Amino acid sequence: MMRYLKHIILPLICLIFLKLSAQEVSVVLKDRQIKIGEQTTIELSLRSTADGQMVQFPKLMDTISAQIEILEVSEIDTAYDEKDISIRILSQTITITSWDSGFHPIPPFIFFLGDERLETKPDLLEVTTVSIEAESDIKDIKKIMEVPFSLWDWILVHKYWFMTGLALIVLTIIAIILIKKFKRSKPDEEVVVPKEEADVVAIKQLKALEAAELWQKGNINKYYTELSHILREYLENRFMLSALEKTTDEIEMLLKYHKEVEAKHREQFTELMQLCDMAKFAKQEPLASENEYALEFAYKFVDNTKMVVEEKSEIRDQKSEIELVENNAGLGHLSSEALAKEDRQSASEKANQANGQVIKEAEDKEDKKI
């Protein structure tokens, strides 16, 4: 009977001691001796079975005792025993220091595991003073260390001046861009070139035609085409006639209404235009003497019908009178360009009236024929 009890009681006792050994707390002081102001650590740990019981670590304040100060408390770390995974190890590190020399006791730390209270063993911390060599001389105060002064430090010190200068630079750049853009978008001022007189232009064109020697090279058709165009353009610029669009007969009728062109000059001009038309359209080849005569007459016609100085002075006098009247009336004076435009419009109106009369006469002739 005793033998059977022995087999039952012994295992129970072993289980009880195993359970007790599985729940234990410990405290490890890293350095038992430190100098004043130095730091050291205390590591708290709790071994227990991972059975879901609530664990409470010691509640720590700013100090452990009157002489020991707590600097930092880490989070609770959880680990498991390598040999027995059912054993849980909780640990926490406390960083401490002391400013009083001597031996300072570290009281027990109290843990709670469920309803069970667990305490660590007390410990002792020795704090020593800094050793002073009696024979050594008193050292002088060290020089102040110079901190490197960077560009960023300069900007921070002079930030108001820096921001003002930066703003001025930005505004200057914007102003330059706007000025360039304005100049680029501004249309170039139109240069007013004085218009040459109709006779001057015609003489230059006739000289260029003579220098080209077209009929001497066999270009009869081109020679008379150019000559006809020069004279027609001269009539447009001189008398405001749309001669480039009119036939030779229509031009002859229009010239009758211009007193500046004498009858003999008008007849000679008509003969020259007819010669040009025959050379251009009828493919008739004029004689060399006729070619020379045509150019010679063109020079004479332009010279005989050009605007003389008296006519120009009369026009200027008329313009002066108009300006004087308008100034007295408070209307200001017209520009020279406006006056020239007015002269051209009046001449154009005269030409249109002449064209109307020519067309009317042509219609009357057709009615008589019918």
Residues 6+ apart with CB under 8 A from 297: 268, 269, 272
Q: What mean pLDDT, rounded, does the chain reach?
A: 79
Contact 231/271 with Cβ under 8 angstroms? no
Residue (of 94, 105, 154, 155) closest to 127 by Cα position? 105
pLDDT at 81: 86
Q: Which residue has the higher pLDDT, 191 or 150?
A: 150
Q: Output 272-278 pairs: Cβ under 8 A, ≥24 positions apart.
A: 272/231, 272/297, 272/298, 272/301, 273/228, 273/231, 273/248, 274/248, 275/224, 276/224, 276/225, 276/227, 276/228, 277/228, 277/248
- Rounded CA separation 74/270 (Å): 122
Amino acid at 77: D
Window from 90-94, 131-135, 182-186, 213-217 with minimum mean pLDDT: 131-135
The predicted model gives 281-306 an average pLDDT of 85
Handedness of CA 352, 358, 362, 363 (dihedral sign): positive
Q: Residue 45 is encoded by which pair of tokens?
A: 């740990």
Residue 155 banded pLDDT, cuts 50, 70, 90: confident
Identify the structural domains of the chain with CATH numbers, from first to last: 32-128 (2.60.40.10), 198-305 (no CATH)
| DSSP code, position 243 | G
pLDDT tier for residue 14 given thresholds of 50, 70 and 90 = very low
* Of 23-37, 59-73, 340-354, the least confident: 340-354
Residue in the structure block whose two tokens are 């234990």 = 24
Count of helix runs (H) and strand runs (E) in the chain: 10, 11
Phi, psi at residue 65, to the nearest 5°?
Answer: -145, -175
Query: Which tokens belong to 334?
Result: 């017209």
Q: What is the mean pLDDT of residues 275-293?
A: 82
Strand (E) or helix (H) holding 292 = helix 288-305
Q: What percent of the chain stands above pLDDT 70?
A: 72
Q: Is the pLDDT of residue 362 over 70?
A: no
User: What confidence tier does 360 reach under pLDDT thresholds 50, 70, 90?
Assistant: low
Quick one: pLDDT at residue 369? 45
Q: Which of 45-59, 63-77, 130-144, 340-354 has the lowest mean pLDDT?
A: 340-354
Q: Is pLDDT larger for residue 195 or for residue 246? A: 246
Say whether pLDDT at 164 is over 80: yes
- With 50 as the cut, is the pLDDT of residue 130 above it? yes
Which one has a higher pLDDT value, 127 or 146?
127
